[in-house]
Structure 1
Amino acid sequence: MPHFRRKRGCKISDNLEKLMPSRRQILSLLAAGPMLAPISAYSTAPAQRLLSPPCADEDDLTPSQTEGPYFTPNSPEKQDFTSDAPGGERITLAGYVLRQDCRPVTKALVELWHCDENGNYDNDGYKLRGHQFSDAEGRWWFNTVVPGLYPGRTRHFHVKVQRPGARILTTQLYFPREPGNVVDSIFHEALVLDVTSGGGGGKFGRFDFVVQ
Protein backbone atom coordinates (compact mmCIF):
# COMPACT_ATOMS: atom_id res chain seq x y z
CA MET A 1 0.00 0.00 0.00
CA PRO A 2 1.55 3.34 -1.03
CA HIS A 3 2.47 5.50 1.94
CA PHE A 4 0.78 8.62 0.62
CA ARG A 5 -2.69 7.05 0.59
CA ARG A 6 -2.93 6.97 4.36
CA LYS A 7 -5.54 9.47 5.55
CA ARG A 8 -4.93 10.02 9.25
CA GLY A 9 -2.84 13.01 10.29
CA CYS A 10 -0.51 13.13 13.27
CA LYS A 11 -1.73 14.33 16.65
CA ILE A 12 0.53 16.88 18.36
CA SER A 13 0.41 17.33 22.11
CA ASP A 14 -0.90 20.60 23.53
CA ASN A 15 2.49 21.27 25.09
CA LEU A 16 4.27 20.86 21.77
CA GLU A 17 1.71 22.92 19.90
CA LYS A 18 2.23 25.86 22.25
CA LEU A 19 5.93 25.85 21.45
CA MET A 20 5.47 25.67 17.68
CA PRO A 21 5.51 28.93 15.69
CA SER A 22 2.69 29.83 13.34
CA ARG A 23 2.95 29.39 9.59
CA ARG A 24 3.54 33.12 9.14
CA GLN A 25 6.28 33.05 11.77
CA ILE A 26 8.09 30.04 10.33
CA LEU A 27 7.98 31.34 6.77
CA SER A 28 9.27 34.71 7.98
CA LEU A 29 12.02 33.01 9.96
CA LEU A 30 12.98 30.80 7.05
CA ALA A 31 13.19 33.76 4.71
CA ALA A 32 15.26 35.86 7.10
CA GLY A 33 17.32 33.01 8.57
CA PRO A 34 17.34 34.15 12.25
CA MET A 35 17.10 32.07 15.40
CA LEU A 36 14.18 29.82 16.28
CA ALA A 37 12.94 28.43 19.59
CA PRO A 38 13.00 24.65 19.88
CA ILE A 39 10.09 22.25 19.84
CA SER A 40 10.76 19.77 22.61
CA ALA A 41 8.39 17.52 24.50
CA TYR A 42 10.83 17.40 27.42
CA SER A 43 11.32 21.11 28.04
CA THR A 44 9.09 24.16 27.86
CA ALA A 45 12.01 26.57 28.29
CA PRO A 46 12.74 28.42 25.03
CA ALA A 47 16.34 28.24 23.82
CA GLN A 48 17.63 30.21 20.86
CA ARG A 49 19.02 28.05 18.06
CA LEU A 50 19.83 28.15 14.37
CA LEU A 51 17.64 26.50 11.77
CA SER A 52 19.22 23.34 10.38
CA PRO A 53 19.44 23.47 7.43
CA PRO A 54 18.36 27.08 6.57
CA CYS A 55 15.72 27.36 3.88
CA ALA A 56 15.72 29.86 1.03
CA ASP A 57 14.08 29.85 -2.38
CA GLU A 58 15.56 27.07 -4.56
CA ASP A 59 17.34 25.59 -1.57
CA ASP A 60 19.07 22.24 -2.08
CA LEU A 61 16.99 19.14 -1.62
CA THR A 62 17.80 16.95 1.38
CA PRO A 63 20.32 14.33 0.19
CA SER A 64 19.11 10.75 -0.15
CA GLN A 65 20.98 7.82 1.36
CA THR A 66 20.79 4.06 1.43
CA GLU A 67 17.89 2.37 3.19
CA GLY A 68 20.22 -0.15 4.80
CA PRO A 69 19.46 -3.81 5.56
CA TYR A 70 17.16 -3.30 8.56
CA PHE A 71 14.09 -1.57 7.11
CA THR A 72 10.73 -3.21 7.91
CA PRO A 73 7.66 -2.09 5.91
CA ASN A 74 4.19 -1.39 7.33
CA SER A 75 5.38 0.26 10.53
CA PRO A 76 2.70 1.48 12.98
CA GLU A 77 1.62 5.08 13.17
CA LYS A 78 3.24 6.37 16.37
CA GLN A 79 5.37 9.26 17.58
CA ASP A 80 6.55 8.07 20.99
CA PHE A 81 9.17 5.29 20.93
CA THR A 82 10.47 5.73 24.47
CA SER A 83 8.69 2.68 25.92
CA ASP A 84 10.45 0.54 23.30
CA ALA A 85 13.82 1.22 24.96
CA PRO A 86 13.22 2.43 28.54
CA GLY A 87 16.93 2.30 29.36
CA GLY A 88 17.99 4.62 26.55
CA GLU A 89 18.83 8.31 26.71
CA ARG A 90 15.80 10.26 25.58
CA ILE A 91 15.81 12.55 22.57
CA THR A 92 13.06 14.49 20.80
CA LEU A 93 13.47 14.74 17.04
CA ALA A 94 11.48 17.50 15.36
CA GLY A 95 11.37 19.84 12.41
CA TYR A 96 9.52 20.71 9.23
CA VAL A 97 8.92 19.16 5.83
CA LEU A 98 9.33 21.94 3.25
CA ARG A 99 9.32 22.47 -0.51
CA GLN A 100 12.29 24.17 -2.17
CA ASP A 101 10.37 27.46 -2.12
CA CYS A 102 9.98 27.06 1.68
CA ARG A 103 6.30 26.18 1.56
CA PRO A 104 5.38 23.68 4.30
CA VAL A 105 4.23 20.23 3.18
CA THR A 106 0.99 19.04 4.76
CA LYS A 107 0.39 15.32 5.40
CA ALA A 108 3.89 14.31 4.38
CA LEU A 109 4.75 10.83 5.60
CA VAL A 110 7.75 10.78 7.94
CA GLU A 111 8.95 7.29 8.92
CA LEU A 112 11.68 6.64 11.49
CA TRP A 113 13.59 3.50 12.49
CA HIS A 114 16.83 2.93 14.34
CA CYS A 115 18.75 0.64 16.68
CA ASP A 116 18.44 0.71 20.46
CA GLU A 117 21.03 2.03 22.90
CA ASN A 118 22.99 -1.22 22.55
CA GLY A 119 23.18 -1.08 18.76
CA ASN A 120 20.48 -3.71 18.14
CA TYR A 121 17.58 -3.45 15.69
CA ASP A 122 14.24 -5.12 16.30
CA ASN A 123 13.93 -7.17 13.12
CA ASP A 124 11.01 -9.28 14.37
CA GLY A 125 8.64 -6.53 15.47
CA TYR A 126 8.25 -2.76 15.48
CA LYS A 127 10.25 -1.53 18.44
CA LEU A 128 11.86 1.83 17.58
CA ARG A 129 9.95 1.85 14.30
CA GLY A 130 7.01 4.01 13.31
CA HIS A 131 5.62 6.73 11.09
CA GLN A 132 3.50 9.86 11.29
CA PHE A 133 2.20 12.62 9.02
CA SER A 134 3.21 16.27 9.10
CA ASP A 135 0.54 18.70 10.26
CA ALA A 136 -0.95 21.65 8.40
CA GLU A 137 2.22 23.66 9.00
CA GLY A 138 4.56 20.91 7.83
CA ARG A 139 5.68 20.04 11.38
CA TRP A 140 6.76 16.57 12.53
CA TRP A 141 8.23 15.13 15.75
CA PHE A 142 9.21 11.87 17.48
CA ASN A 143 10.10 11.09 21.09
CA THR A 144 12.68 8.31 21.06
CA VAL A 145 16.12 7.37 22.41
CA VAL A 146 19.67 8.03 21.25
CA PRO A 147 20.74 5.08 19.09
CA GLY A 148 23.78 3.07 20.08
CA LEU A 149 26.78 2.10 17.99
CA TYR A 150 27.52 -1.06 16.07
CA PRO A 151 30.56 -2.03 13.98
CA GLY A 152 31.04 -0.12 10.75
CA ARG A 153 28.65 2.76 11.37
CA THR A 154 28.55 6.03 13.23
CA ARG A 155 25.50 6.96 15.33
CA HIS A 156 22.46 7.55 13.08
CA PHE A 157 18.71 7.44 12.47
CA HIS A 158 17.01 6.09 9.34
CA VAL A 159 14.20 8.16 7.83
CA LYS A 160 11.80 8.08 4.89
CA VAL A 161 9.92 11.24 3.90
CA GLN A 162 7.21 11.42 1.23
CA ARG A 163 5.17 14.36 0.06
CA PRO A 164 1.67 13.14 -0.99
CA GLY A 165 1.86 11.81 -4.52
CA ALA A 166 5.62 12.32 -4.81
CA ARG A 167 8.69 10.10 -4.69
CA ILE A 168 9.94 8.81 -1.34
CA LEU A 169 13.07 10.38 0.09
CA THR A 170 15.11 7.76 1.96
CA THR A 171 17.92 9.18 4.05
CA GLN A 172 19.74 9.10 7.40
CA LEU A 173 20.35 11.65 10.14
CA TYR A 174 23.58 11.99 12.11
CA PHE A 175 24.88 13.45 15.35
CA PRO A 176 27.41 16.28 15.46
CA ARG A 177 30.93 15.72 16.77
CA GLU A 178 30.67 11.92 16.71
CA PRO A 179 34.13 10.29 16.42
CA GLY A 180 32.68 7.75 13.98
CA ASN A 181 31.59 10.42 11.50
CA VAL A 182 35.05 10.74 9.97
CA VAL A 183 35.41 7.01 9.31
CA ASP A 184 31.84 6.21 8.20
CA SER A 185 31.82 6.10 4.39
CA ILE A 186 28.08 6.89 4.29
CA PHE A 187 28.18 9.93 6.59
CA HIS A 188 27.04 13.23 5.00
CA GLU A 189 27.63 16.60 6.64
CA ALA A 190 24.36 18.00 5.25
CA LEU A 191 22.42 15.43 7.28
CA VAL A 192 23.72 16.36 10.74
CA LEU A 193 21.09 17.12 13.36
CA ASP A 194 21.20 20.35 15.35
CA VAL A 195 21.37 18.76 18.82
CA THR A 196 20.99 20.55 22.15
CA SER A 197 20.15 19.50 25.70
CA GLY A 198 16.47 19.32 26.56
CA GLY A 199 14.66 19.20 29.85
CA GLY A 200 14.54 16.10 32.03
CA GLY A 201 18.04 15.03 31.05
CA GLY A 202 17.12 14.35 27.42
CA LYS A 203 18.25 15.86 24.15
CA PHE A 204 16.55 17.76 21.36
CA GLY A 205 17.46 17.24 17.68
CA ARG A 206 16.21 19.55 14.94
CA PHE A 207 16.17 18.85 11.19
CA ASP A 208 14.09 20.32 8.35
CA PHE A 209 13.58 18.14 5.28
CA VAL A 210 13.49 19.87 1.88
CA VAL A 211 11.68 17.69 -0.65
CA GLN A 212 10.47 17.87 -4.23
Structure 2
Amino acid sequence: MRGNRPTRRAVLRQWLALPALPAALALSAASAPGAERRLVPTPACDDREDTTPSQTEGPFHKPDSPMRHEFVPEDAGGQVTLVGLVLTPRCRPVTNALVDIWHADPDGAYDNDGFRFRGHQFTDPDGRYWVRTLRPGLYGSRTRHYHVKIQPEGGPLLTTQLYFPGEARNGDDWLFDPALVMTMAEVGDGELGRFDFVVDV
Protein backbone atom coordinates (compact mmCIF):
# COMPACT_ATOMS: atom_id res chain seq x y z
CA MET A 1 0.00 0.00 0.00
CA ARG A 2 1.14 3.53 -0.73
CA GLY A 3 0.95 4.47 2.96
CA ASN A 4 3.69 1.96 3.80
CA ARG A 5 6.21 3.40 1.38
CA PRO A 6 8.90 5.76 2.69
CA THR A 7 8.53 9.37 1.59
CA ARG A 8 10.94 11.15 -0.71
CA ARG A 9 11.90 13.43 2.16
CA ALA A 10 12.77 10.48 4.44
CA VAL A 11 14.90 8.79 1.79
CA LEU A 12 16.61 12.08 0.90
CA ARG A 13 17.50 12.63 4.57
CA GLN A 14 19.10 9.17 4.67
CA TRP A 15 20.95 9.88 1.43
CA LEU A 16 22.40 13.16 2.70
CA ALA A 17 23.42 11.60 6.02
CA LEU A 18 25.67 8.99 4.40
CA PRO A 19 29.25 9.34 3.10
CA ALA A 20 29.78 8.92 -0.63
CA LEU A 21 30.70 5.24 -0.97
CA PRO A 22 28.07 3.80 1.39
CA ALA A 23 25.62 6.12 -0.35
CA ALA A 24 25.51 3.52 -3.12
CA LEU A 25 23.09 1.71 -0.84
CA ALA A 26 21.31 4.75 0.56
CA LEU A 27 18.18 4.39 -1.51
CA SER A 28 17.49 0.82 -0.43
CA ALA A 29 14.89 2.42 1.83
CA ALA A 30 12.70 2.26 -1.25
CA SER A 31 12.48 -1.49 -0.64
CA ALA A 32 10.72 -1.07 2.69
CA PRO A 33 7.54 -3.14 3.16
CA GLY A 34 4.93 -2.01 0.66
CA ALA A 35 7.37 -0.47 -1.83
CA GLU A 36 6.72 -1.69 -5.37
CA ARG A 37 10.37 -2.08 -6.25
CA ARG A 38 13.75 -0.92 -5.06
CA LEU A 39 16.41 1.19 -6.65
CA VAL A 40 19.32 -0.95 -7.75
CA PRO A 41 22.50 0.00 -5.85
CA THR A 42 25.30 1.49 -7.89
CA PRO A 43 27.63 -1.32 -9.02
CA ALA A 44 30.91 -1.65 -7.15
CA CYS A 45 33.74 0.25 -8.79
CA ASP A 46 36.45 -1.64 -10.58
CA ASP A 47 39.87 -0.23 -11.46
CA ARG A 48 38.47 2.26 -13.95
CA GLU A 49 34.91 3.19 -14.89
CA ASP A 50 33.89 4.51 -18.30
CA THR A 51 33.00 8.19 -18.33
CA THR A 52 29.38 9.19 -18.81
CA PRO A 53 28.49 9.61 -22.52
CA SER A 54 28.02 13.15 -23.76
CA GLN A 55 25.01 14.37 -25.72
CA THR A 56 23.92 17.59 -27.37
CA GLU A 57 22.68 20.41 -25.13
CA GLY A 58 19.82 21.15 -27.54
CA PRO A 59 18.53 24.63 -28.36
CA PHE A 60 17.02 25.53 -24.97
CA HIS A 61 19.96 25.94 -22.57
CA LYS A 62 20.18 29.30 -20.75
CA PRO A 63 23.24 30.46 -18.79
CA ASP A 64 23.03 32.13 -15.37
CA SER A 65 20.32 29.88 -13.95
CA PRO A 66 19.61 30.31 -10.22
CA MET A 67 21.49 28.16 -7.72
CA ARG A 68 18.90 25.84 -6.18
CA HIS A 69 17.96 22.23 -5.48
CA GLU A 70 14.20 22.71 -5.62
CA PHE A 71 12.44 23.46 -8.91
CA VAL A 72 8.94 23.01 -7.44
CA PRO A 73 7.28 23.75 -4.08
CA GLU A 74 7.38 21.12 -1.35
CA ASP A 75 3.66 20.39 -1.76
CA ALA A 76 3.62 20.06 -5.57
CA GLY A 77 2.09 16.81 -6.79
CA GLY A 78 3.86 14.21 -8.93
CA GLN A 79 7.35 15.13 -7.80
CA VAL A 80 10.59 13.45 -8.86
CA THR A 81 13.58 13.68 -6.53
CA LEU A 82 16.75 12.93 -8.47
CA VAL A 83 19.91 12.10 -6.51
CA GLY A 84 23.36 10.85 -7.41
CA LEU A 85 27.11 11.21 -7.26
CA VAL A 86 29.73 12.82 -9.46
CA LEU A 87 32.74 10.50 -9.54
CA THR A 88 36.14 10.23 -11.19
CA PRO A 89 36.86 7.21 -13.42
CA ARG A 90 38.51 5.66 -10.35
CA CYS A 91 35.33 6.16 -8.35
CA ARG A 92 36.51 9.01 -6.17
CA PRO A 93 33.89 11.65 -5.35
CA VAL A 94 34.26 15.00 -7.12
CA THR A 95 33.72 17.86 -4.68
CA ASN A 96 32.31 21.22 -5.76
CA ALA A 97 31.51 20.13 -9.31
CA LEU A 98 28.96 22.29 -11.15
CA VAL A 99 25.68 20.45 -11.85
CA ASP A 100 23.38 22.44 -14.17
CA ILE A 101 19.96 20.89 -14.88
CA TRP A 102 17.11 22.07 -17.11
CA HIS A 103 14.10 20.45 -18.74
CA ALA A 104 10.69 20.96 -20.31
CA ASP A 105 7.63 21.52 -18.15
CA PRO A 106 4.92 18.82 -17.87
CA ASP A 107 3.34 20.15 -21.09
CA GLY A 108 6.60 19.75 -23.03
CA ALA A 109 7.49 23.47 -23.15
CA TYR A 110 10.74 25.14 -22.05
CA ASP A 111 10.72 28.44 -20.17
CA ASN A 112 12.87 30.59 -22.45
CA ASP A 113 11.92 33.87 -20.76
CA GLY A 114 12.56 32.92 -17.14
CA PHE A 115 14.15 30.04 -15.25
CA ARG A 116 11.29 27.67 -14.49
CA PHE A 117 12.61 24.10 -14.34
CA ARG A 118 16.17 25.39 -14.53
CA GLY A 119 18.84 25.58 -11.87
CA HIS A 120 22.39 24.76 -10.89
CA GLN A 121 24.19 23.56 -7.78
CA PHE A 122 27.58 22.28 -6.66
CA THR A 123 28.33 18.81 -5.35
CA ASP A 124 28.94 18.47 -1.62
CA PRO A 125 32.20 17.16 -0.07
CA ASP A 126 31.08 13.59 -0.82
CA GLY A 127 30.30 14.33 -4.48
CA ARG A 128 26.52 14.26 -4.05
CA TYR A 129 23.85 16.28 -5.84
CA TRP A 130 20.06 16.27 -5.60
CA VAL A 131 17.14 18.09 -7.19
CA ARG A 132 13.39 18.09 -6.59
CA THR A 133 11.36 18.61 -9.75
CA LEU A 134 8.65 17.04 -11.96
CA ARG A 135 8.60 14.66 -14.90
CA PRO A 136 9.16 16.62 -18.11
CA GLY A 137 6.50 16.45 -20.80
CA LEU A 138 6.88 15.12 -24.33
CA TYR A 139 7.44 17.31 -27.38
CA GLY A 140 8.19 16.69 -31.04
CA SER A 141 9.85 13.32 -31.56
CA ARG A 142 11.74 13.40 -28.26
CA THR A 143 11.28 10.96 -25.43
CA ARG A 144 11.11 12.21 -21.84
CA HIS A 145 14.48 13.57 -20.67
CA TYR A 146 16.45 15.93 -18.44
CA HIS A 147 19.39 18.02 -19.69
CA VAL A 148 22.51 18.16 -17.52
CA LYS A 149 25.91 19.86 -17.60
CA ILE A 150 28.63 18.68 -15.19
CA GLN A 151 31.93 20.49 -14.74
CA PRO A 152 34.54 19.73 -12.07
CA GLU A 153 36.60 22.66 -10.82
CA GLY A 154 39.19 23.33 -13.51
CA GLY A 155 38.05 20.26 -15.45
CA PRO A 156 36.33 19.60 -18.77
CA LEU A 157 32.61 20.21 -19.26
CA LEU A 158 30.27 17.25 -19.75
CA THR A 159 26.97 17.98 -21.48
CA THR A 160 24.48 15.12 -21.54
CA GLN A 161 20.86 14.03 -21.07
CA LEU A 162 19.13 11.60 -18.71
CA TYR A 163 16.27 9.30 -19.67
CA PHE A 164 13.42 7.49 -17.93
CA PRO A 165 13.12 3.69 -18.07
CA GLY A 166 10.19 2.10 -19.84
CA GLU A 167 9.16 5.12 -21.91
CA ALA A 168 7.30 4.22 -25.11
CA ARG A 169 9.32 6.72 -27.14
CA ASN A 170 12.75 5.53 -26.01
CA GLY A 171 13.08 3.18 -28.97
CA ASP A 172 12.13 5.87 -31.51
CA ASP A 173 14.26 8.77 -30.24
CA TRP A 174 17.53 8.78 -32.15
CA LEU A 175 19.33 10.48 -29.25
CA PHE A 176 18.26 7.92 -26.66
CA ASP A 177 21.16 6.05 -25.03
CA PRO A 178 20.46 3.21 -22.58
CA ALA A 179 23.67 4.13 -20.73
CA LEU A 180 21.92 7.35 -19.67
CA VAL A 181 18.77 5.79 -18.20
CA MET A 182 18.04 6.71 -14.59
CA THR A 183 17.09 4.11 -12.01
CA MET A 184 13.60 4.96 -10.74
CA ALA A 185 11.42 3.83 -7.84
CA GLU A 186 8.04 4.86 -6.50
CA VAL A 187 7.95 6.22 -2.96
CA GLY A 188 5.02 7.28 -0.84
CA ASP A 189 4.65 10.76 -2.29
CA GLY A 190 6.23 10.64 -5.73
CA GLU A 191 9.21 9.13 -7.51
CA LEU A 192 12.85 8.78 -6.61
CA GLY A 193 15.55 8.65 -9.29
CA ARG A 194 19.26 7.89 -9.20
CA PHE A 195 22.07 8.57 -11.64
CA ASP A 196 25.82 8.73 -10.98
CA PHE A 197 28.01 10.70 -13.39
CA VAL A 198 31.60 9.64 -14.10
CA VAL A 199 33.73 12.52 -15.38
CA ASP A 200 37.33 13.26 -16.24
CA VAL A 201 39.04 15.70 -13.89
2: CA distance, partners of 1:24 / 1:192: 21
- The answer for the alignment partner of 2:98 in structure 1 is 109
**8 Å Cα contact 1:76/1:126 also seen in 2:** yes
1:155-174 deviation digits (Å, cap 9, x = unpaired): 00000001110111000000
- The answer for the alignment partner of 1:118 in structure 2 is 107
1: CA distance, partners of 2:44 / 2:57: 25
- The answer for the alignment partner of 1:168 in structure 2 is 157
**Which TM-score applies when normalising by structure 1?**
0.80
- The answer for the alignment partner of 2:4 in structure 1 is none
Q: Does 1:66 align with 2:56?
A: yes
Q: Please, which of 19, 42, 53 is the counterpart of residue 22 of structure 1? A: 19
Residue correspondences, number:
188
Q: CA deviation at 1:50?
A: 1.8
Q: CA deviation at 1:198?
A: 1.8
1: CA distance, partners of 2:118 / 2:174: 24
2: CA distance, partners of 1:68 / 1:142: 21
Q: What do you get for the CA RMSD once the two structures are aligned? A: 2.7
Structure 2 spans left out of the alignment, 5+ residues: 1-8
Q: CA deviation at 1:52?
A: 4.7
Partner of 2:27, secondary structure, is coil
Task: Give the share of equivalent positions with the same residue, in percent.
Answer: 49
Q: Does 1:140 align with 2:129?
A: yes
Q: CA deviation at 1:38?
A: 1.3
Q: CA deviation at 1:128?
A: 0.3
1: CA distance, partners of 2:163 / 2:13: 26
Structure 1 spans left out of the alignment, 5+ residues: 1-12, 30-35
- The answer for the alignment partner of 2:180 in structure 1 is 191
- The answer for the alignment partner of 2:171 in structure 1 is 182
**8 Å Cα contact 2:65/2:115 also seen in 1:** yes
Partner of 1:50, secondary structure, is coil
**8 Å Cα contact 2:20/2:85 also seen in 1:** no
